[in-house]
Structure 1
Amino acid sequence: MEQKKVHFPADDDEPSDLKPPTPSAARAAAPRRVIVTRCPQCKVTFFATAAQLKAASGAVRCGVCQHIFDALEHEEKTPEKDSNTATGAQPLDASQSVSSPAKAQVSPTGELPSPGLSDNKSTTVGNPLHVDADINPLPELLTARFGKKKISTLYSAPVFTRSLVAVGILCLALQFVFTFSKQWGQQPHLRSVIVPVCSVIGCQIGELQNIALITSESLSVSAHGSFQDVLSIRLMLTNHAAFAQPFPKLLLRFTDTAGNSVAQRLFEPKEYLAAKFTNHNRFPARQAVRVQFDIMDPGEAAVSYTLDIRK
C-alpha cells in the first residue's frame, strides 16, 4: 500500500497566512489567461490578465477615471469558443492591442500586504491594458464631466465669435468706403473696386478727374478784329492723363502795374468750348484741344493777365 507523507512545519519556518483567501483572490487564482472587465464608474471596458489580477487580489485601477474596483465582480461575459468559431470572431488574447487612448492600471488596495514585508518576491505589471475597440469612452466622459450643453458650447462658441468678428470687420470696411468714396474713387487703381461697392451701398464717387494732368499752353490775348472793346482769348489745353476726364474751369485774371486785380472771370466748359465738345463735356485722354473765346476789354488799367485751371 502506498504511504502518504505528512509534512509538519519546522520551528524556523515563517508563519503562513492563516486568513482564508477572499472570494476575489480565489477567483483571481483561477487558471484563466485573460478576462474582460468594465469600470462601474465610467463604463470603459478593459482586458486584464491573470497575473495582473493575482498581483492585486483582483483589484484594478481604471486608467481613465482612476476608480479602483474588483475586476472579477464586474467581468464582462464573453461568447464561448465554439460560438466564436461559428461567427468567425477570434478569441480574446492578452497580447492584442486595441486603438484607444484609455488605459487601465493595476493598483494595490488596502487588502494587500505592505511592499516592505517581502524582499524576495516582486510583482511587475506589464504593458498598460488596452480598451475594447468597440468602446469610445471620450464622449461619455466629457458628458459626465461637463454636460451636453457645455460640450455644445465649446464647439459653437468659437464659430459664433469668428462670425461676429467677420461681420464687424465687414461693416467697418463698408463704413470707410462710404466715408472716403470720393477720395478713393479718384485713384485709378482703387476705382475698379470702389465703383461696384458704391453701387450696392449707395455712395457717390463722382467722375474720375485730375486737373494736375491738364496744362494750358500758348495763351494769347488780342483785340477782336470785328468788334470794338472786345478781346479774343486763344490757348491750347492738353490732357496728359491716361483716362478721359471732365473739362476744367478756367479762371482768367487781369492785373495792373502794381499786381492788383483789375478784373477776373471764371469760365465754365460750355462757355469756352466749341459745339463739338459741349455735348459730352469730357476731355479725351492724351489729347490737346484748341480753345478760343471772346471777352469784354477790362480797360487800360489791365496791363497783365493770368490763367488758372480750376476743378
Structure 2
Amino acid sequence: MYAQCPECLTVFSLDAAVLAQARGEVVCGHCAAPFDALACLAAQLPPEPFQRLAAHAPSGQPPRLELAVYRPRAEPAAAEPAAAPEAAGAEDFSQLVFTPRFARGARKPRRERPARRRSGERRWPWVAVCALFALLLGAQLAWAKRDVLIADPTVGGWLRRGCASLGCTLPLVQDVHRLRLLARDVQAHPSVPGALMVSATIHNDAPFAQPYPIVTLVLTDAGGRRVAMRRLRPAEYLGDEAVLRAGLPPGGNAALLFEVVDPGVKAVAFELGFE
C-alpha cells in the first residue's frame, strides 16, 4: 500500500502494521509533517508521471465486509460436575473389574506399529516430490551458470564427455582472453583499387569451442594516432553458416581475411583486437 505526504508530495510504501500503530496518523520522513495516511491510501500507484494520489471521499456509513477468510472456533463449554450421590450407601460397586498389577504392566498397545507403518507409507510421496523439486532447482542453477561450468577445466571436461556419449552439443562459451594471434599481415588489395587486404591467424587456447569473436581493426599513423577503426562481426568475415555455428574448436586455428577501405598514406600501422 502507498500513501503521499500532502506537504512535500513524497510517496511512501507502508503496510497494515504501520497504519494500525496510530490509526492512520503518520509523520513524513522527508519534511516531518504529520498527515493522515488513510486519506490517500492506494493499493497501486498510477502510471508515472503523476502529482497527487487520489483522495478518498468520506462515506456516510461504514462499508459492510462480506468476504470472510477465517473465523475462530468457539470454545467448548466447561463440563458440569457430576451430581454427588445422595448417600454413600447408594453406590454400586458390583460392576467394577479389578486387573492385577502384573497384567497391566504386560499390556502393550496393539495399534502402535500399524500406525507407524501407515505414516511411513504416507511420507514417501512427499520425499519423492521434494527430491524432484531439488533436481529441478539444481538443473536451473546449472543452466544459469552454464558458461562458468563449461569453462571450468574439471566440470567442463565431464560435460563434454557426457555430451559426446549422448550425442548432444554444448553451447558455445566465449573467452577472448584465451584467443592468441599467431600471424597478421596487411597489403594492398590485388584486384580492388583503394582497398586493403588484412589477413590474420588466431589460435584457441581454451579446452572448449568458442564462437568467432568480433575483430577490432585500428589503423594508425607514424605518430601512433588513430586514423581509422572498424569492428567486424563474424558474419562479415566468415560466409559459411556451418562454420559459424560450430565455432572455433579447442586448440584449433582459424585464418581470417578482411577487406577494408584504404585511408591513405597516413596509415602506416595497424592493430587487431578481439571482443
Q: TM-score, normalised by structure 2?
A: 0.46
